[in-house]
A and B are shown apart, each in its own frame.
Chain A
Amino acid sequence: MATKSICLYFQVHQPTRLRLYRFFDIGKDSHYYDDFANRTILRRVAQKCYLPMNQLMLELINKNKGKFKIAYSISGSALDQFQRFCPEVIDSFKALAATGRVEFLAETYYHSLASLASESEFRHQVQKHAARIEELFGVKPTAFRNTELIYSNGIGEMVYDLGYKTMLTEGARHIMGWQSPNFVYTGETQPQLKLLLRNYSLSDDIAFRFSNKGWDMWPLTAEKYVNWMKDSAKEGDIVNLFMDYETFGEHQSADSGIFDFMRALPDAVIKDGTFSFVTPSEATKKYKPVAGIDVEDPISWADEERDLTAWLGNELQSEAYKKVYAMTEKLAIVNDPELYNDFGHLQESDHFYYMCTKFFSDGEVHKYFNPYDTPYEAFINYMNVISDFQIRLDEKRAALDVKETAVQELKIPARTVRGKVAKKK
């Protein structure tokens, strides 16, 4: 058996896009979502990516009899949309789960930035997501990936406390320095938490550069790629290839040959013999960690900076973020399932991403994913929705007519009740 490994993990997420929500709608109409756009986009991506790629993965897993393994993290927001608009996608993921060769990771249900804002909200969303994954795919997740691979020492500690011993993050250059991402590491302040670090160069060769004909390495073949992985892992145990699932068929179109590349990759890897495929939880069992990684300020897998500036980089974003998380306490008192549902969707990191004003180095990517013409429109629309949400929250709060002294007592039971409700589903 090969001593080195490849860990393939795909991120599946679709945001719940907001409709054009005007000042005149505030207090009158509390439906916030653009159902038409969400349905249209989801069905398009399902046809171009999720369904054909799931089919291909299933074939490859069956063909290679246990030698090909992959991992997915599917956000709750994406699962909700699959269920509403395209349930056959869920069935195809269930078929993949049934092979036993696929690991499903835990994440925040709403693909949110809760890990940065509120520990209680973060715990709640992680638990809600894990329960949903177990309900759908029959396995309780054991490895965790945070929204956009956001990680810091503090987040690592929270994740470990939630019962996860494996976590995925970015092999950010400014953190790693001379160290290679091709080993298993641990958290600096929580040495029991094992970390898998994305090999961004090899991951981006597939995710960003694959179809670029101006790239001096174009076209990329499976054999060429295996050689690159061997070069990279000369000193190392594992190559972590983490990328958006929408890379296949959506960001890189089918006629770029991306599906053929993926079809050929397992054969090329197995024939070469240097690597075997592992899932994240297997990887951290197989290899001993080599060192701790100290991350004081959160890192992520986004943009050149690999930091949080794509979501919280300007004053518009921080204002929206502060306003939405300022409501957590009141929401706990009110404890209303409808409000919690909207609150969850309003936390999706994508809403903050749309307000990003970094138009230069990574502007292309931002524009591609953005339903708004300008970050200002995104901000205005979002704040109008938040204003309506605040009104609903305040009305419910007033209706409760709970005295200020009772607030503290109520807070804890509210959380517990909610946890139970989520699990029962």
Chain B
Amino acid sequence: MIGAIALHEWRRLRAGMMFWLLLAFGQLIVAWLSFAQLETFAGIAPQLKAGASTLGAMDLVITPTFNTLVLLLLLCAPLLAMGSLAGEVQSGRIALWLSSPVSDTQIAIGKALGLWLATLPLLLSSLLTLAALGLGVDLDWPRFALAAAGLLLFGLWLGCITLLLSSLFDHPAAALAASYGILLFLWLLDSLSGPEAPWYWFALLPHVKPWLAGLLRSQDIVFFVATAGASLLFGSYALARRRGDT
């Protein structure tokens, strides 16, 4: 049932204008930035070679574009997720979900997976664009694959977080505002406090950047898995509260 819910969510998003606008906007930004960076790289490549620099296309083109993709996902995911549960409540369709023989946990997991599916076209098309650079320049493929896997996991994490925030509100606009607020806070948290602060662990960038730079650390995996799991748990709890069961 979780798979069916995920596919339905993906179908629902695909039928709306927002999904296509975001996809077109995202692809435009990724293409423009990656070619601008490639042009710069091509310009300085002879000097890098002459200076025996270890920097290559991976550092100067791919990783910066991956960082841009993270930012794009942070901008797009709340727009896709705002209607996920808040929109169902606002339109009255939540009755269809809550009167069906499906558990709240299945709804939360299925919808989060559906949101992740909706980010895949942007992610995969961008990854293919960047991978195509490998035809002309030397790329560090294991590092590329690791960063790509990190981006996919980050997309799933965003689906879980934004779904939780959508489950807390009755209006999509309120869910959108809360999502941007929370994500911006997590994005800036490391610059607001030092590594010794207890809440530093929740800062987003220190977990994302090493992964995109090709460094896989268990603490980053634990961060993403734990916060995504907690979001799903609280999301299904929010649905149960809506019924008055808790």
Q: Do A and B bind each other?
A: no
Binding site for B on A (CB under 8 A): none
Binding site for A on B (CB under 8 A): none
